[in-house]
Amino acid sequence: MHRIRLCRVRISRPAAPLDTFPKRPRPPHCFSTSRPSPSMERVYLDHAATTPLDPEVFEVMKPYLLEEYGNASSVHQLGRQARVAMEGARERVADCLWAESSEIVFTSGGTEADNLALKGVLGAASTEAGSEAGLVTSTAEHKAVVEPARRMMEQGRPVTLLSPDAHGAVTPEQVEAALDEDTALVSLMHTNNEIGVQTDIPAVAAVCDKHDVLLHCDAVQAAGLQPLDVEALGVDLLSLSGHKFYGPKGIGVLYVRNGVDLGPLVEGGSQERDRRGGTQNVAGAIGLAEALERAVTEAEERAERLTRLQRRLVVGLDEAVPGPYVCNTPLDEAPVAPHVVNVAFPPVGDEPLDGEMLILNLDMQGILVSAGSACTSGALEPSHVLTALGLDRPTASAAVRFSLGAKTTEEDIDEALDALHSTLQRMR
């Protein structure tokens, strides 16, 4: 048999003169022509998205990544050591929340914790009742709650999506009016991740308790800045995510009050007392516990310092922003987190501001912030939180969320304001 060898043949073509290629028009709102030098200092103002891992937390984790690497489900020595470390981390987290260690479920993060709370509680309640158990939540929740809620609606489960008040919070009166005989769970955020407004969770808990309904609280943005005593809050379930308070990514917590019937979201193992199957992330749990302890200890000091920086940023906006803007974080009108300021820029005349290009231009100047919207398949979609507040689409699509952190300084705030001023002047 003869083998035929296939070859690629390169065909050379004469190069076309440069002036024969059509020039593409420059978009009206394009990047700055300046490029940051490799040595440019970055001002990171996106701590609501993630925080840097505390080096001291990493040092505590290292032995369980390199030497004490056993599977906590194994019965040999390394496995037993890992299990002891895992349960120690569970105890430490429980102490921070004024909970019992048996009430702590480790997850892969806040999104999984939210999904486990909703699907686990409602699935178990529906099985017990023999009918579809209902959910009450709001349109301004994190997508980890809103998307499962909408999917449940599509599947025929009774779901009520409340509209937030003018500041973005949900009132106890709204919750009480929405409860009916089918409602098994209310899920509301403690601190909104986009605008920082806080809901009165203890007051909502009192309503839920009166009607014998469970309450889940996404407290991801509150951890380390607000007291999270689960007894004082009155919650039945509470979600946390390690990387929001200088712990590692890929690890979270769902607090589940003893006695709450919770079906598993992830099946395939008996870990986490049959509530979350899969090999346990020992190093991650230890890192989360260490970071949470540090955050709880320093919470008051951190919050006071961030409040001063937040005020400096808000006061500076009037001078920095050429033209109209909307501050979506109601600092003087409602309780808010100390680390978030959300600002949107309405159209000037008939000309909307390109929100994505605004973020990228700030990035080119070393200012790292988030938009109040998400880029999906190349199309900029307005934030569901901002549209729930009643902002029109062009304004909601041109929003910036500044979120401050442990290393943020007054100089960082001033640099961000300067960059915002020059960028908006150029774009407008």
Catalytic residues: 375
Distance of alpha carbon 361 from alpha carbon 256, whole angstroms: 44
Residue 313 to residue 11: CA distance in whole angstroms: 60
CA distances from 161 to 168, 170, 239, 265, 360 (A): 13, 11, 20, 23, 34
| Residues in the chain, total | 428
Displacement of CA 93 from its chain's centroid (Å): 20
SS3 363: helix
Beta bridge partners of 135: 159, 185
For the record, the structure tokens of 79 come out as 């496995």
201-208 contacts at long range (C-beta below 8 A, 24 or more positions apart): 201/233, 201/234, 201/235, 202/232, 202/233, 202/234, 203/172, 204/170, 204/172, 204/175, 205/233, 205/234, 205/235, 206/172, 206/234, 207/172, 207/175, 207/176, 207/179, 208/175, 208/179, 208/234, 208/236
What gap in Å lies between CA 280 and CA 345, rounded to an integer? 45
User: Which H or E run contains 84?
Assistant: helix 77-97
Task: Identify the residue whose tokens are 């003869």.
Answer: 2
* DSSP code at position 184: E
User: Within its chain, how far is the Cα of 379 from the centroid?
Assistant: 21
Closest CA to 291 of 84, 27, 93, 88: 93
Closest CA to 189 of 118, 239, 134, 258: 239
Structure tokens at 254: 């769902």
178 C-beta neighbours (distance < 10 Å), count: 18
Q: Do the beta carbons of residue 327 and residue 335 sit within 8 Å?
A: no
- Six token digits for residue 401: 């969320």
